[in-house]
Structure 1
Amino acid sequence: KDTHDSLRDENVSIKKSYQDLSMTKASNSNVSSRAVVPEKPKVLAPGLYAMTPKYVPP
C-alpha cells in the first residue's frame, strides 16, 4: 500500500508539471499563430500550399 501511495503522489506531481508546461506552451503559441508560407511555395493546386514544418494551426 505504501508504494501505491507514493506512485500516486508522483503521478499527481507529474500531471501538475505537465499542466504547467502546456499552459506555458499555449501562451507562447500566440506569437506565430498564422501559417508560414515559404518564399517559393510548392503549389499543390490553385490556392493550396504544402504545409511547412513551421505551420501552426489556428
Structure 2
Amino acid sequence: MSKVMGVNAAAEELDMHPETVRELLRRGDLAGSKMPGLRGAWKIRPEAIDRFLKKHAYAA
C-alpha cells in the first residue's frame, strides 16, 4: 500500500495552490478520499497525481 498525502503535500507536488487542489478534488478531476469527521481532510495517493498529470499532459 502506498502512502497517502494531504492537500498541502499534493499542492507542492503539483506546484499549485492548496485551494486549487481542493477544487480539483471536489470536481472529481483529481482522485482523493475525504476522511470521516466534521472537518474531514482530503487524502491523495501518489498514483492519483500521476494519473492526473498524464491525463492533462500536453503533447507537442
Normalising by structure 2, we get a TM-score of 0.28
More relative contact order in 1 or in 2 (CA 8 Å, sep 6+)? 2
Query: Who wins on radius of gyration, i.e. which is larger?
Result: 1
